[in-house]
Structure 1
Amino acid sequence: MAVPNLYWSLPVPSVQELARDIPSTLVPRRYIRDDVSDLTASINPSLIIPLLNMADLINSESRDAELQKLFFACRDWGAFQLINHGIPDEIIKNMKKQSRDFFDLPSQQKRRYTQKLGSLQGYGQAFVVSEEQKLDWNDMIFLHALPIKDRDLNFWPEEPQGFRETLDSYSIEVRRLAVSLLGFMAMALGLEAHEFSENFQQGQYHVRMNCYPSCPLPEKVIGISPHSDISAITFLLECNDTPGIQFQKDGYWVPVEPISGAITVNIGRIGQIISNGVYHSAEHRAIVNKLKERLSIVTFCYPNENGEIGPARGLITQENPVLYKTVSHADYFHRFYYQKHVGDQLIDSLKADASQ
């Protein structure tokens, strides 16, 4: 059965159940990546993702130096870890607990929130469009968190107790952080903060909680295939100390070691567009661990659905011509979900000299 667009996903088995039931030496063929010789190759442990301090961005005395670090992180890496981000510790703690508790629920309870044909929201997997497609080694629950009108509470778990309230509080804090950080990203380019951030006060915030069970063949199985996000920025909160996210830099994969209290931030395609190509949309992947389960909470930050997506006007001069078209929110997402422009195809379709 084929599906007509990327906003639908075919049902797949629960990886948690597979990991629990299969023999330690056996992994189903659909998860074996024959196209990769060894997922542990091409890793450069000497490269370290930049570390930014939100407190230094807020402090006027330290801001200039930290803005320079932010500029280089966004331009050269497209990703960084952020400390002192301001999300209260209690909300972080509760959000991690709710995510762990959800994936610990019995299978029949999680299946109450299974995705339905026509939507990515819910429990299952994303972007599975054929029965022959290779699968990633993870389970997820994907939810539209903000604005409130976008929520489909049929997919918002009532168990574990307090899940909905915790996600509501967390998403509000993430929105506050996104607006603030995008403002500093504008300032690092010599712009006023609002030139990046104004469309995100009422923006869309989608949350994906991931479970990566331990896997007997981590060198042949991948948690999430290499990709770049279509968001403006993405926040990744690790729920434990098991590393897994890796970013590509200079032809190498660079592992990110979890830092207590830090959030990993990466630039998405919209961030690349609004910076007129100065900032880099980071390609990344998730690997799996032979002995440990990994849990993560990812928030994709998008602008207001009524706004336009295009380069910030303040960046365009005779010396720096516009690189990307300005398109409607609907047009941008139509290119991805319905025309299936993925990866570089999406950004290429939006180049100023590209045909419609």
Structure 2
Amino acid sequence: MAGDQSSSSFTTGNIAQEKGLDYVPGCYKVSSPNHPSLARETTLVPVIDMARLRQDGGERSVIIREIGDAFHRSGFFQVSFLLIQPSDLVNHGICQEILDGALASALGFFNLPAQLKLQLKSDDVFKAVRYGGSFKDGVDKVQFWRVFLKHYSYPLDTWIDSWPKNPPQYREKMGNFSTEIRKLALELMKVITESLGLGRNYQSQKMEDGMQVITVNCHPPCPQPSLALGLPPHSDYSSLTILLQNSPGLEIGDSHDCKWRLVPELHGALQIL
């Protein structure tokens, strides 16, 4: 039947989102009040230039204040801002080659034959490396239109050998990304606590000792996007979420009117939640 033929750019698999179906199965359909809007409003996201933090004097103080204002106005870790310069030169300190390598490795994994990916499939949320197809597989009454790969990444030398062996450069490219993201997270937390008047080292030891998890989300083409959600409304449980995306889709909640608005995609930018 037509529903069994692949219309997706991803390898046909056993998970519905990867089968290239021409319809949305019933278990993926959200109720009418929760239907996503295809004419989405965008939100204004504060722009933070990390390079200015490395300057002395008043310039650094201005950025510290801007970060504090962003969190006080919009909520602490439940909204995002982008690390870019007004000139669009990304200044979070991570070179574009590392970001592109991580994205290419992620795409390479999702393009693997189904049998290789399914070796990592698990509903155990505590498993160090797992591949799955919804928010909470086997628990959610409504399934969500995504597939994901999730794995622990710090300490890197403890976990990297458990990561996928394929594609061949996955461990190297994602390992480089993981290392640089952790450096950024440690720096960001110092700036955040400083902006709140708590001092740069208020959370430093906890951050140094904390865990790091990488989640790679993939949202294959949906045949009826008005009926399904990629992910439900939620807030992350981590201290910091640093997000790299290569297509628009992230929405953040507005605490003033309780509406969800689309975050504009900016190439090479990292979003902090």
- The answer to whether TM tops 0.5 is yes
Task: Map 1:55-66; keep pairs closer than 5 Å.
Answer: 55-61=51-57, 62-66=59-63
1:210-245 CA-partner distances (Å, limit 9, x unpaired): 11011122222100100001100101101x2x2100
| Distance change >3 Å, CA 128–CA 112, structure 1 → 2 | closer
Share of identical aligned residues, percent?
A: 28
- CA–CA distance in 1 between the matches of 2:228 and 2:167? 30
Q: 1:105 aligns with which of 98, 105, 112?
A: 112
Comparing 224-233 and 82-91, the one that deviates more? 82-91
Pairwise CA distance, 1:37: 4.8
- 2:155 aligned residue: 147
- CA–CA distance in 1 between the matches of 2:215 and 2:266? 20
Structure 2's unaligned 5+ residue stretches are 1-12, 85-90
| Distance change >3 Å, CA 41–CA 92, structure 1 → 2 | closer
- 1:162 aligned residue: 169
Match of 1:233, SS state, is coil
In structure 2, what residue type is equivalent to 1:232?
A: S
- 1:115 aligned residue: 122
Pairwise CA distance, 1:42: 9.3
User: Relative contact order, CA 8 A, sep 6+: which one is greater?
Assistant: 2
Pairwise CA distance, 1:44: 3.6
- CA–CA distance in 2 between the matches of 1:116 and 1:228? 20
Which structure has more strand as a fraction of its residues?
A: 1
- CA–CA distance in 1 between the matches of 2:99 and 2:171? 14
Does structure 1 retain, via aligned residues, the 8 Å contact 2:49–2:92?
A: yes
Does structure 2 retain, via aligned residues, the 8 Å contact 1:36–1:220?
A: no
Pairwise CA distance, 1:68: 1.5
- 1:255 aligned residue: 262
Does structure 2 retain, via aligned residues, the 8 Å contact 1:31–1:137?
A: yes
Does structure 2 retain, via aligned residues, the 8 Å contact 1:137–1:222?
A: yes
Match of 1:210, SS state, is strand
- CA–CA distance in 2 between the matches of 1:170 and 1:91? 6
Pairwise CA distance, 1:16: 3.8
Root-mean-square deviation (CA, aligned residues, Å) is: 2.2
Structure 1's unaligned 5+ residue stretches are 1-11, 267-356
- 2:67 aligned residue: 70
- 2:6 aligned residue: none
- CA–CA distance in 2 between the matches of 1:173 and 1:27? 38
Does structure 1 retain, via aligned residues, the 8 Å contact 2:144–2:228?
A: yes
Does structure 2 retain, via aligned residues, the 8 Å contact 1:44–1:252?
A: no
